[in-house]
Structure 1
Amino acid sequence: MLHPVITKEVFQFLNQLKKNNNREWFTEHKPEFKIREATAKTFFNSLLELMKQHDEIERLKVFRIYRDVRFSKDKTPYKYNFSASFSRAGNERRGGYYLHIQPGGSFVAAGFWNPNKEDLFRIRKEWELDVDELKSIIDKKSFKETWGDLAGDEVKTAPKGFDKEHENIDFIKKKQFIFVRNFTDAEVLDKDFLLEVNKSFKAIRPYFDLMSNILTTNLNGESLLD
């Protein structure tokens, strides 16, 4: 069975856009942009259908090529990537997925990018009590071979109200709880890239299940859902 692929023409266009990041060039080449964008959107939508076989996905968001330059020193008007996020459905499911297609910088990510302060505090309190269940998931060989180590921004020492000498401080001081997997250009252009991305996202599910359970219960394990 043939699957949608990211073509070399997509990369070629994005490389050209990076070198000619101005409105005149983009306007002239907009017909080609629409073709390459359609390729990416077909890929994203096909991935969505595969993901629905192992998770409940509420929304696919394809990010626009136009940059918001209002508060940026970099005034180049266009991104030189195609990207999309996949949101999990319902209050009982937490976390999300992200796919980024860019020459020399393609990756997938999954987890909790910027939890609100209540969720962040709840996660930290959980890690203050115990990280054994978390470690049993993320230290598993098959998981680590796919996703590597837990990533994300963190505070320098310890969050307010937490002991900087706590044995689990490396987890407690995190502000984001994400995993990232990078792909080479050759891997992105491979005919089975779609299946590999879906396989990676499927492998993150035990982590999502644990985090969803944490974020929908109190420290006594009692449900917070109606």
Structure 2
Amino acid sequence: MNFENLFNFLTALQKNNNKEWMDAHRKHYHQFRNDFIAWLDGLDAVLAEKYKGYYPTPGKMGINRINNNLMFHPNKPIYKDHFGAGLDKAPNSADFYIHIGINECMLAGGFWRPDHKTLCSIREAIDYNGEEFVKVINKKSFKETFGELYKDEKLINAPKGFSNNHEHIDLLRNKSFAVAHEMSRKMVLAPYFDDHVLKVYEEMLPFRQYLNKAVTV
């Protein structure tokens, strides 16, 4: 995958964010999309072979649309400034998300603003065995890779059914349980980028496994 050419295409698209320009360059767009899908397929094959329980996710299944949803976000531009995709996409499971864009590149995962049932399941797991979760997110290599949990709105008080004095109250007040590993463009263009993606996936795996267990048990 030639990410340098992809960055150049996305930059041009943002300068000409309209359907007329996209129609005139749709052949190039499909070329980059197909290359990105092929790259995802390669990662998917490696992950499926290496990790038991990995949910095979072909690139065509994982890739996101480049069009913004203007029905819910009418003020956004027509087209996104990035290519995004998810791998290991078992139904109702924590994400592993790849985002390659001109303004931001990252590898992220977990649950962002999950539905009420999912959120309650995660909170119940933390109430029952929060020590295991704390151990995962406080691991030195995890913190070096992701820092803290992804910043989002929190409840002001304890969620219903929990005490403000709960030992894990700061976690229980979260509305999202996700992490992100930001990357420079230089990292994406590096010859060892694929290996870096695999390393971050592995570091994130215990975090995602805890969440997946919470919402399925």
* 1:93-152 deviations in Å (ceiling 9; x for gaps): x32211011013011111122433223112213323442211212111122212221225
CA distance in 2, matches of 1:206, 1:121: 20
Q: Does 1:40 align with 2:5?
A: no
Tell me which moved more, 65-74 or 174-183: 65-74
Kindly provide the amino acid, as one letter, of the partner of residue 197 in structure 1.
V
Q: Which runs of 5+ in 2 are unaligned?
A: none
Structure showing greater Rg: 1
Kindly provide the amino acid, as one letter, of the partner of residue 51 in structure 1.
L
Of Structure 1 and Structure 2, the greater helix share is in 2
Alignment of 1:5-44 (within 5 A): 5-44=1-40
Q: Does 1:205 align with 2:201?
A: no
Q: How many residues get paired?
A: 211
Please name the residue that 1:178 is paired with.
178
Kindly provide the amino acid, as one letter, of the partner of residue 193 in structure 1.
F
**Equivalent position SS for 1:204:** helix
Q: Which runs of 5+ in 1 are unaligned?
A: 218-226
Kindly provide the amino acid, as one letter, of the partner of residue 122 in structure 1.
S
CA distance in 2, matches of 1:175, 1:202: 24
Please name the residue that 1:111 is paired with.
110
Q: Report sequence identity in percent.
A: 30
Query: Residue 207 and residue 15 in structure 1: after superposition, are their counterparts in 2 closer, same or farther (change >3 A)?
Result: same
Compare relative contact order (CA 8 Å, sep 6+) and give the higher one, 1 or 2.
1
In the TM superposition, residue 196 of structure 1 has moved relative to its aligned partner by 0.7
Q: Does 1:77 align with 2:75?
A: no
Q: CA RMSD in A?
A: 2.1
In the TM superposition, residue 39 of structure 1 has moved relative to its aligned partner by 2.2
Maintained 8 Å contact 1:108/1:181: yes
CA distance in 2, matches of 1:215, 1:23: 41
Please name the residue that 2:160 is paired with.
160
Query: Residue 128 and residue 75 in structure 1: after superposition, are their counterparts in 2 closer, same or farther (change >3 A)?
Result: closer
TM-score w.r.t. the length of structure 1 is 0.84
**Equivalent position SS for 1:131:** helix
**Equivalent position SS for 1:108:** strand
In the TM superposition, residue 90 of structure 1 has moved relative to its aligned partner by 7.0
CA distance in 2, matches of 1:88, 1:65: 19
Kindly provide the amino acid, as one letter, of the partner of residue 146 in structure 1.
T
Maintained 8 Å contact 2:62/2:89: no
TM-score w.r.t. the length of structure 2 is 0.87
In the TM superposition, residue 88 of structure 1 has moved relative to its aligned partner by 4.2
In the TM superposition, residue 155 of structure 1 has moved relative to its aligned partner by 2.1
CA distance in 1, matches of 2:182, 2:76: 27
* 1:145-175 deviations in Å (ceiling 9; x for gaps): 1222122533233323322343321100111
